[in-house]
């Protein structure tokens, strides 16, 4: 439990650092297309790196996971599925585009929709006495949906904006 918690802490620190820099860049240039392009580049690089590390990770788990940690056989099988969900979560920086535009209502719709679908999926899985692998896939699908909706809403926010917004980020509401 300590390793995932440390990983989430590191992820949040990195996300806040990159997001803060993206928003400063938006405030400097007042052009949403710049932050959208930067966000897309960062997300693409993270997805490529995660894809390239997936195969060595899978090899390491298959070769040495059960050998050194036989008591965690089910958890080792779940790690590959959770890796996919974690990759989606780590690469999702599109919320910063939505934040810069001020479309926080879209972020609410995104999170509410994903949370609702994930909750219903978990409830149905529980009623069907599904195993842990099902819940791991639900987690990964939820992270993938969050990424997809954030991408769609960020694209919409970027396409529906002119080069400058009506309200700057540092202007009081």
102 conformational bin, left if phi > 0, alpha if psi -120 to 50, beta if neither? left
- Containing H/E element for 160? none
Domain that holds residue 55: 2-159
Question: Is 103 a domain residue?
Answer: yes
DSSP string, 52-64: HHHHHHHHHIIII
Q: Is the residue at 38 inside a domain?
A: yes
Per DSSP, 71 falls in state G
Asked, for residue 37, whether it belongs to a domain, the answer is: yes
* Residue 91 domain flag: yes
Per-residue pLDDT tens digits of the chain, which is 173 residues long: 566 677 778 878 888 888 888 888 888 888 888 889 989 999 999 999 999 999 998 898 888 888 888 888 788 888 888 888 888 988 888 988 988 888 889 989 999 999 999 999 999 999 999 888 899 899 999 999 999 999 999 999 888 876 544 555 565 55
On whether residue 49 sits in a domain, the answer given is: yes
Does 62 fall in a domain? yes
d(CA 139, CA 22): 28
In a domain, 165, yes or no: no
The tokens for 93 are 């920086």
Closest to 95 (Cα-Cα) out of 7, 2, 10, 12? 12
Residue for token digits 């919320």?
A: 95
Quote the longest CA-to-CA distance of the chain: 60
In a domain, 169, yes or no: no
Counted domains in the chain: 1
Q: Whole-model pTM?
A: 0.81
């Amino acid at each position: 439990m300590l390793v995932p918690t440390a990983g989430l802490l590191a992820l949040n620190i990195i996300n806040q650092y990159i997001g803060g820099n993206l928003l400063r860049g938006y405030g400097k240039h007042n052009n949403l297309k710049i932050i959208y392009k930067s966000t897309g580049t960062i997300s693409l690089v993270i997805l490529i790196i995660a894809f390239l590390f997936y195969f060595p990770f899978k090899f390491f788990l298959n070769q040495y996971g059960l050998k050194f940690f036989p008591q965690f056989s089910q958890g080792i099988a779940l790690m590959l599925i959770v890796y996919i969900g974690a990759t989606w979560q780590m690469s999702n920086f599109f919320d910063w585009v939505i934040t810069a535009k001020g479309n926080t209502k879209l972020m609410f719709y995104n999170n509410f929709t994903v949370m609702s679908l994930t909750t219903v999926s978990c409830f149905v899985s529980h009623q069907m006495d599904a195993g842990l692998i099902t819940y791991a896939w639900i987690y990964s699908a939820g992270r993938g949906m969050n990424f997809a909706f954030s991408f769609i809403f960020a694209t919409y926010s970027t396409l529906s904006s002119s080069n400058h917004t009506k309200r700057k980020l540092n202007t009081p509401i």
